[in-house]
């Protein structure tokens, strides 16, 4: 079926610069959002183990380069496989797989090479970090992209696993992830966060997902059911900062305030008639929420750089 789609979706007009093609191909914003938790996990492992930053700079670079390539490879393969969906959806029509700027065969090759080189580099860190990298890659490429995305509304849960392992990669490059509660809490934060974040996207792009036949929750169950799920996951975020008391009260208080604000936004969703505007506000809030939390984690452990 994939080959049948390929024959009909490759225009021949080259529309974008090489830099733009790369940006769309690797989904640059998504890539950055996944690499930041890797960095955070590594720095927190340094902080809690008492290790020095200077003494592990080489390991940090290997971890960041390797994980970035693995994640980029998975995102590129996702673009290759989802070309039929991306052709229908307005927000993805600039991807080179749709415009024809890069052939699908080349895209698949790039995805495989990036993934392979990334895994090779990760082997120079630790076996555990490499394993988490593989779990994230396999879950995103096969379990999410190729299996569940087009079939089940709970594809979001599966996709969330791939993003949630990122801090485990960073931590495990230095210390076993199951030796401390912090990396497990980081996993839970990202896993839970991705649910309302993805619901926001699905509600904003409801018409496109429906036209593409993607089984997102709003498309199958409607907006009200989606908002109930949304609210449930935001409430689940509330206790998590209190497991990170070792990061200090500034972090715990900031995280709690962010959770309260998100809860208020959730409640407003049940009263609004403009679902698109509410979903857009929720989307941008969710993006800032995660970045603030993980950057703050780095800031509160800043003395490791000295």
Residue span of the structural domain in which 22 resides: 2-305
How far, in Å, CA of 196 to CA of 287, rounded? Answer: 11
Percent over 90 (pLDDT), the chain: 75
Assign residue 257 the CATH number of its domain: 1.10.600
Q: Quick one: which H or E segment has residue 215?
A: none
How far, in Å, CA of 168 to CA of 183, rounded? Answer: 6
Contact 70, 113 (CB under 8 A): no
Average per-residue pLDDT for the chain: 90
Confidence of residue 4 (pLDDT cuts 50, 70, 90): very low
Region of 5 please: left (phi>0), alpha (psi -120 to 50) or beta. alpha
Contact 152, 215 (CB under 8 A): yes
- Which pLDDT value is given to residue 16? 61
- Which pLDDT value is given to residue 11? 41
- Which pLDDT value is given to residue 89? 82
How far, in Å, CA of 288 to CA of 286, rounded? Answer: 5
Model pLDDT for residues 153-208, shown as the tens digit of each residue: 999 999 999 999 999 999 999 999 998 999 999 999 999 999 999 999 999 999 99
DSSP 35: H
Residue 50 CB burial class (10 angstroms; 0-12, 13-18, ≥19): exposed
How far, in Å, CA of 9 to CA of 212, rounded? Answer: 14
- Report the domain count for the chain: 1
Residues 91-115, mean pLDDT to the nearest whole number = 90
Region of 248 please: left (phi>0), alpha (psi -120 to 50) or beta. left
Region of 27 please: left (phi>0), alpha (psi -120 to 50) or beta. left
Confidence of residue 15 (pLDDT cuts 50, 70, 90): low
What's the predicted TM-score (pTM) here? 0.90
């Amino acid at each position: 079926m994939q080959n049948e789609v390929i024959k009909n979706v490759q225009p021949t007009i080259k529309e974008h610069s090489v830099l733009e093609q790369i940006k769309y191909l690797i989904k640059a914003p998504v890539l950055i959002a996944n690499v930041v938790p890797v960095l955070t996990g590594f720095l927190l492992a340094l902080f809690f183990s008492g290790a020095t930053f200077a003494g592990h700079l080489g390991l940090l670079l290997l971890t960041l380069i390797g994980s970035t390539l693995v994640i980029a490879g998975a995102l590129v393969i996702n673009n290759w496989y989802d070309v039929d969906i991306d052709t229908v959806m307005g927000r993805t029509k600039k991807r080179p797989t749709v415009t024809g700027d890069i052939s699908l065969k080349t895209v698949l090759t790039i995805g495989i090479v990036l993934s392979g080189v990334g895994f090779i580099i990760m082997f120079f860190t630790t076996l555990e970090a490499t394993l988490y990298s593989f779990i994230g890659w396999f879950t995103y490429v096969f379990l999410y992209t190729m299996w569940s995305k087009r079939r089940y509304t709970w594809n979001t849960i599966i996709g969330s696993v791939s993003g949630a392992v990122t801090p485990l990669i960073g931590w495990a490059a230095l210390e076993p992830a199951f030796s401390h509660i912090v990396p497990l809490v980081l996993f839970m934060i990202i896993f839970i966060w991705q649910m309302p974040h993805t619901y926001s996207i699905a509600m904003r792009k409801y018409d496109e997902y429906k036209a593409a036949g993607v089984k997102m929750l709003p498309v199958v169950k409607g907006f009200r059911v989606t908002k109930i799920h949304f609210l449930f996951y935001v409430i689940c975020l509330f206790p998590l900062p209190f497991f990170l008391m070792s990061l200090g009260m500034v972090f715990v208080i900031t995280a709690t305030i962010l959770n309260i604000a998100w809860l208020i936004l959730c409640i407003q969703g049940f009263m609004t008639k403009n679902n698109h505007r509410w979903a857009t506000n929720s989307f941008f809030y969710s993006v800032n929420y995660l970045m603030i939390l993980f950057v703050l984690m780095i800031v509160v452990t800043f003395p490791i750089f000295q």
